[in-house]
Amino acid sequence: MQNLVATLMQELRTNGAARLGANENRPSMYGALDLFKKQSAAPMTILTPDLDTKLNNSFGQVVKASVIDYENPTISNVRTCAVQTGGATSKQVPFTFFTVSFGFVMVPAMFENNDLKYEDLWMNQLVSRINKAKALLDTKCIDFLALNKNSYFPAEMLSYYAQSGNAFQVPVQTDSNQRQNWVGLYNNLTSILAQQDFGAEQPDILANPRAMGDVRELLSQGAYNAVNKAWEVDLVGNFFQSPRVVNSGAGVAATEYAVLPNSVAITGRLDPDCLRGRLIGSPENPAKQWSKVTLPGFDEFGLYYQADCSDQSATLAAHRLSGLTRTYVESFEWSRDYCIFGAYNSDPTTRYQPIQKFELLNA
């Protein structure tokens, strides 16, 4: 009796890391980060060239900017020969940084008996960390907006909407097509900003995906709709979307931030060794190397590379590589310090902030 079991073909494999597994490392939407980057690059940005240069080169230094507080002068209706009184109060605004760092190790020998290649794993790990770093920065920008949103709500503000937790509470409406939405928000926002003396500027809007559904509905309207509200969208600047803008309480269906132009900024710096390109070993065969690299969607990052010997026998035993007791390994670490800041306000309790939060309520 014939028996060919011992020579049966093994399973057929192909490399699907790039396409079949593409959704595993799919990017998110980083609307808050994009908003901050857009305002940082604007012609009248609060991140002036001089400030940007000083912050970029501030490693180990303290950076402060001089500002002058708002003055509420007295206006008289008489002339006098008395020496005038009054004057300005100056302040120093400090800037703080936080570090974003990520990396991984590569063991070239582990690919000797693997379908995946060195380049597959290297790129997969880098992309996943880039996406995670962008999400972190996006969250940091949202947190900044939440912390620095307007907290001054005199009676004239409450004539538009009630407020809770320093957020305007926008009630849902039912339109002529029996659809529930928040039509009228951007029209009222224009009046709110005029009341706050910000009226000449169009704010950028950061919204979560639920809020953007209402925006797309406005954008789709035209002259032939029974009620055309598309003009409301023209009252604001650019729209930015992030799934990390979360609704903060029961009864809130969607959340938006309105951020006036030139109100926020983000910049960064590198450590001195990466800036200067330090090297241990030769350029062709470095043992340790500090350098600058540009990552997709980012400014320059510092890259610290190390080549070393390591015992990977226990780690790679399941790979049938327990013999790698002194194998060659490569370590990659990217880092950058970031500074997020906004326009100065001498007294947020009595003066309006250029950041408004809106909570769009359920029925």
- pLDDT by residue (tens digit) across 255-300? 999 999 999 999 999 999 999 999 999 988 899 999 999 999 898 9
Residue 231 has pLDDT above 70, yes or no: no
Q: What is the pTM of this model?
A: 0.91
What is each CA distance from 346 to 93, 165, 180, in whole angstroms?
10, 21, 40
Residue 226 confidence (pLDDT): 42
- pLDDT by residue (tens digit) across 191-225? 999 999 997 789 999 999 998 888 887 776 654 34
If residue 105 lies in a helix (H) or strand (E), which one and from where to where?
strand 98-106
- Could you give all domains of the chain from N- to C-terminal order, each with its CATH number? 155-263+343-361 (3.30.2320.10), 271-341 (no CATH)
From start to end of 107-234, where are the E strands?
162-164, 167-170, 173-174, 180-181, 204-207
Local structure of residue 79 (DSSP, 8 states):
-
The per-residue pLDDT of the chain, averaged, comes to 90
Residue 302 sits at the vertex; the CA angle it makes with 300 and 305, to the nearest 5 degrees, is: 135
Residue 223 confidence (pLDDT): 43
- Better-predicted residue by pLDDT, 98 or 320: 98
What is each CA distance from 99 to 195, 206, 335, in whole angstroms?
39, 25, 7
Q: What mean pLDDT is predicted for residues 66-70?
A: 96
- pLDDT by residue (tens digit) across 292-331? 999 998 989 999 999 999 999 999 998 898 999 999 999 9
Report d(CA 242, CA 29) in Å as an integer.
5
Residue 21 has pLDDT above 70, yes or no: yes
Residue 224 confidence (pLDDT): 39
Contact 334, 101 (CB under 8 A): yes
Those residues with Cβ within 8 angstroms of residue 135's Cβ, 6 or more apart along the chain or in another chain? 28, 30, 244
Give the burial string for 125-163 (b: 16+ CB within 10 Å, else e): bbbebbbebbbbbbbbbbebbbebbbbebeeebeebbeb
In this prediction, residue 11 has a pLDDT band, given cuts at 50, 70 and 90, of: confident
| 2-16, 47-61, 130-144, 207-221: the lowest-pLDDT one | 2-16
If residue 302 lies in a helix (H) or strand (E), which one and from where to where?
strand 300-310
Question: Which residue in 143, 128, 169 sits closest to 32, CA to CA?
Answer: 143
Local structure of residue 161 (DSSP, 8 states):
-
